[in-house]
Amino acid sequence: VQAVFRSNLSHLLELMGSGKESLIFMKKRTKRLTAQWALAAQRLGQKLGSVWRDQKQILVHIGFLTEESGDVFSPRVLKGGPLGEMVQWADILATLYVLGHGLRITVSLKELQSNLGVPPGRGNCPLTMPLPFDLIYTDYHGLQQMKQHMGLSFKKYSRCRIRVIDTFGTEPAYNHEEYATLHGYRTNWGYWNLNPKQFMTMFPHTPDNSFMGFVSEELNETEKQLIRGGKASNMAVVYGKEASIWEGKDKFLGVLNKYMEIHGTVYYESQRPPEVPAFVKNHGLLPQPEFQQLLRKAKLFIGFGFPYEGPAPLEAIANGCVFLQARFSPPHSSLNHEFFRGKPTSRELFSQHPYAENFIGKPHVWTVDYNNSEEFEAAIKAIMRTQVDPYLPYEYSCEGMLERIHAYIQHQDFCAAPGPVPPGARAPQSPFVLAPNATHLEWAQNASSAPGAWPPAHSLRAWLAAAGRACTDACLDRGLICELQVPCDSTESEMNHLYPAFAQPGRECFLQKEPLLFSCAASSTKYHRLCPCRDFRKGQVALCQDCL
């Protein structure tokens, strides 16, 4: 069946159910963005022309909102707790619905079981049952619940039909059970042996995973004009709804207060939180549309290091603010910061919001060393003098998100891809074999030459990275994106998340034996990583030029 774009979201709102504060927040957002989604669908429809889109039957099981996993988020929605996840799930639901797919939504174990056809109370169902869904979007909590309640069907379908929404991402070394166990990459999140692209992130962290994203509210020309006229050049909003974020920031706030009127949206019960100085105008936690209005008046949105990688800086930039944030030196990661400890990634954050720093940058984003008070003060003064227009990267617009998820749904096929190679068995024959003296061009031509491969072979180029440099960065240096997902085989190959690589002493080439361990993110000073890079669409890094 052909999928047909939908522009009326009232049935989706019914499907989303009710009761929990988290669902109420999500539904309000979806309702507010209806016109924006409808316009985006119309534009994408024109762009895609008559291209065939298969209608899929999709189950969305939001595990972290189930009582069975504790649902710690819902009670904090109105109290300054994280909203980023709710923003993202609301937008995922809208995307799938607007694209015209068949949709079921579950936020409890009981609903999950009934949708999967598992009789309640059966516990671990031993039977392999036909799955009534082509695709299941869930999160780590939901994955665990499905493992417990789908019995053998889980083994059969998880590596193929499931997509895991995973804010910060899961690197290949942590995903592969045997490798994680042998090399110290085991975490409490598990090692699921999925195709790393089945994990879908909030920002395009590493191309090992798929970039899901979310959307930010868009302004029309009239609104942009109004903003240009209505900005108060001396108004700053501090990033952070929880009082703890303000702790120990008196020095910076004092400097900022010399130049600007400081506003906050910190949750409080009856009294002003002691962490927020008296000279700050605190509005309390605002409903999302009022928060947007505040950003429209402000010149500066300032981050003090937490929360990491949330939606708010994109909203601020989309509303014409400059985002000022702290450079992290040394970088924050699961090795040195409590928040990331135990998360299945070694990614290092060189600032509070690396996407804003690397993909947007000046004049919208300033990343400075806050410990250097001169640099900090100079940045504030310079920002007050700069004129910036509202900016939203295409990939965070409704059309951009629809386009990307459309491409994934139609082209990403993990059902055909190989799983991990059982011990003793040979990896499947692959076109990704590197002759020791092959040039990067020959290598690229061999790569991904299978018919129907996505991304297609001609979008790929291979590069040898400098020692200590990860493929993600080596590709970006050349205006390309790392794309490592092609299975590989060679008698000299080994299981190592740093391969394929080249080592200077002895000029040795090392090939990857385990397809699931191809990692764009990995680096070591011992090796030059061999990096398959691909081209990408400007403003839509998840897709290659010919990926639509």
State the residues that interact with ligand U2F by CB under 6 A.
Answer: 82-85, 87, 167, 202, 241, 265, 285-286, 288, 291, 307-312, 315
Nearer to ligand U2F, 207 or 307 (CB): 307
Residue 189 DSSP code = T
Nearer to ligand U2F, 83 or 530 (CB): 83
Closest contact distance (angstroms) between CB of 269 and ligand U2F is 15
Nearer to ligand U2F, 196 or 311 (CB): 311
Nearer to ligand U2F, 284 or 431 (CB): 284
- Shortest Cβ contact with ligand U2F: which residue? 84
Nearer to ligand U2F, 170 or 265 (CB): 265
Task: Give the alpha-carbon dihedral of 202, 548, 42, 321, to 10 degrees.
Answer: 40
Closest contact distance (angstroms) between CB of 237 and ligand U2F is 9
- 472 to 430, 449, 541: CA distances (angstroms): 23, 22, 12
If one counts every other C-beta atom within 10 angstroms of the C-beta of residue 227, the result is 18
Closest contact distance (angstroms) between CB of 373 and ligand U2F is 26
Closest contact distance (angstroms) between CB of 82 and ligand U2F is 4
Nearer to ligand U2F, 32 or 43 (CB): 32
CB-based burial of residue 496 (10 Å sphere; 0-12 exposed, 13-18 middle, 19+ buried)?
buried
CA 309 to CA 353: how far, in whole Å? 5
What are the strands, taking DSSP E only, across 475-521? 481-482, 501-503, 508-510
Closest contact distance (angstroms) between CB of 87 and ligand U2F is 5
Nearer to ligand U2F, 219 or 465 (CB): 219
Q: Are 385 and 24 in contact (CB under 8 A)?
A: no
Q: Give buried/exposed letters for 307-341 (b at 16+ CB in 10 A, else e).
A: bbbbbbbbbbbbbbbbbbbbbbeeebbbeeeeebe
Closest contact distance (angstroms) between CB of 335 and ligand U2F is 17
Which of helix, strand or coil describes residue 12? helix
Q: Are 197 and 414 in contact (CB under 8 A)?
A: yes
Q: Are 185 and 179 in contact (CB under 8 A)?
A: yes
Closest contact distance (angstroms) between CB of 239 and ligand U2F is 7
The DSSP-derived string for 374-408 is HHHHHHHHHHHH--------GGGSHHHHHHHHHHH
